[in-house]
Amino acid sequence: MMAWRLVGFGKPPQLQEVPIPAPAAGEVLIKVAGNGLCHSDVGLMDPRFDAPPFPGWQLPFTLGHEVAGWVESKGAGVSGHSPGEPVILVATESDGTCAFCQAGMDNNCDASGAGRGYGRDGGLAPYMLIRNARPLIPLRTLDPVTAGPLADAGATSMHAVRRVLPRLGRGSTAVIIGAGGLGSFAVQFVRALTSARVIAVDVNPARLEYAKSLGAHERLQGVNAATAADLRKLTNGRGAEVVLDFVGIDATIAAGLASARRAGAYGLVGAGMGTLAHPWFHLLPRDGEVFCFTGSSIADLEAVVKLAEQGLLRNDTERFSFGQVPEAYDRLEHGRLTGRAVVIPDA
Ligand SMILES: [Zn+2]
């Protein structure tokens, strides 16, 4: 079969012939229906990036970590999951045995440093092998061709929102900075799961309009020196109970921290590599919480799938054929997609 593979860091992916894997004991072979493209893939192709971010990565590997498809075949000892079953796959690898997995914090699993599409073969191919059946979540009513983005863009955003749920009671405000792929899911999750007022912040008016259509109550365009003051005005001078930053550049970190109210929370999700240059003490929310994280857990994706199955989630996608992968990545990199890009492999 042909697969889109990363052959070197900082380089564009190449189409290469690889064997269709055969599942050994405990393993499952998945027939890929659709694979969502993620901005983190583009980061691996950036010429400034020249080394693996975590130990255990092996080049070359097939890209793609937003995967849904069907169970094709399985090795000995895998219970359930009959061939033909439609499934979506949790993006983060986990072993099910470490203390984090036992506590349901499997996105922190000791085995999660390398995984499908990030250091090992992922879903930009007609078939993909998984090491154990843990990531499989059955799809009952959702189309596996377009469900893939729920596995990362959706679930990573859900991880942030679930973490701050207790703070978002009646009369509270959630600020969502960056209304792109992850942020637009966050707007929907906060609306579906809480009674909080949602303020969406973005530089792009089209994305703000989209956030409004997804349920954002207020929109604020641009992130600059005045943003924190504008957000305070929108919250009666108090600041917001929760600020989730899906951008993570200097300007959003500064504005986001300054917009969280006393005892509020600021969550850094976006990988914009920004820094906080000023003295920390009076810029952090007093008695508050500042957190960051990576990825999402099995429970996060289950929660996303449940909302989507209830018809409470919009997951706008743009479909690309297998040959259009370079074009799709190019449009992703330059912000010219109208939904999450999903690649449909040629089997
Ligand atoms: Zn584990």
Residues 84 and 200 in one domain: no
Residues 215 and 163 in one domain: yes
Average pLDDT of adjacent 10-residue blocks, the chain of 347 residues: 95 96 97 94 86 86 97 96 97 94 94 90 97 95 97 96 97 95 95 98 94 97 90 94 95 93 94 76 83 91 97 95 96 87 88
Last residue of a domain, one of 292, 316, 331: 292
| Distance from the alpha carbon of residue 81 to the mean position of ligand 1, in angstroms | 21
The confidence score (pLDDT) of residue 279 equals 66
| Distance from the alpha carbon of residue 103 to the mean position of ligand 1, in angstroms | 9
The confidence score (pLDDT) of residue 34 equals 98
Residues 106 and 9 in one domain: yes
3-state class (DSSP) for residue 152: coil
Residues 9 and 145 in one domain: yes
Q: Supply the range of the domain harboring residue 263.
A: 156-292
Q: For residues 173-201, b (16+ Cβ closer than 10 Å) or e, as one string?
A: bbbbbbbbbbbbbbbbbbbebbebbbbbb
CA-angle at 299, arms to 297 and 301, nearest 5°? 75
| Distance from the alpha carbon of residue 112 to the mean position of ligand 1, in angstroms | 8
Bridging pattern class, strands 115-116 and 136-138:
unpaired
Torsion angle, CA of 292/294/298/302, rounded to 10 degrees?
70
The confidence score (pLDDT) of residue 209 equals 95
Question: Which CATH number is 240's domain given?
Answer: 3.40.50.720
Residues 192 and 218 in one domain: yes
Ranges of H-type helices in 75-165? 99-102, 144-147, 153-164
| Distance from the alpha carbon of residue 284 to the mean position of ligand 1, in angstroms | 33
**Bridge partner list, 130:** 28
Q: What is the CA radius of gyration of the chain?
A: 20
The confidence score (pLDDT) of residue 336 equals 85
Residues 34 and 133 in one domain: yes
Residues 131 and 29 in one domain: yes
- Provide the domain count of the chain: 2
| Distance from the alpha carbon of residue 313 to the mean position of ligand 1, in angstroms | 29
- Give the DSSP H or E segment for 223: none
Residues 15 and 146 in one domain: yes
DSSP assignments along 262-323, one per residue:
EEEEEEE---------S-STTTSPTT-EEEE--S--HHHHHHHHHHHHTT-----EEEEEGG
Report the greatest alpha carbon distance in the chain: 61
What is the rounded distance in angstroms from the CA atom of residue 127 to the CA atom of residue 84?
A: 13
| Closest CA relative to residue 12, chosen from 344, 328, 336 | 328
Residue 311: Cβ-neighbour burial (10 angstroms; 0-12, 13-18, 19+): exposed
| Closest CA relative to residue 257, chosen from 220, 234, 284, 276 | 284
Torsion angle, CA of 190/196/197/199, rounded to 10 degrees?
-40
| Distance from the alpha carbon of residue 132 to the mean position of ligand 1, in angstroms | 12
Residues in the chain: 347
Bridging pattern class, strands 173-177 and 240-245:
parallel
Residues 286 and 260 in one domain: yes
Residues 277 and 310 in one domain: no
| Distance from the alpha carbon of residue 222 to the mean position of ligand 1, in angstroms | 40
| Distance from the alpha carbon of residue 13 to the mean position of ligand 1, in angstroms | 30
Question: Which CATH number is 139's domain given?
Answer: 3.90.180.10
| Distance from the alpha carbon of residue 274 to the mean position of ligand 1, in angstroms | 30
Give the E-state strand segments of 38-109 in sequence order: 61-62, 66-74, 86-89
| Distance from the alpha carbon of residue 70 to the mean position of ligand 1, in angstroms | 25
Residues 195 and 207 in one domain: yes
For residue 22, the one-letter residue type is A
| Distance from the alpha carbon of residue 108 to the mean position of ligand 1, in angstroms | 7
Residues 70 and 130 in one domain: yes
The confidence score (pLDDT) of residue 224 equals 86
The confidence score (pLDDT) of residue 39 equals 86
Last residue of a domain, one of 251, 269, 292: 292
The confidence score (pLDDT) of residue 15 equals 96
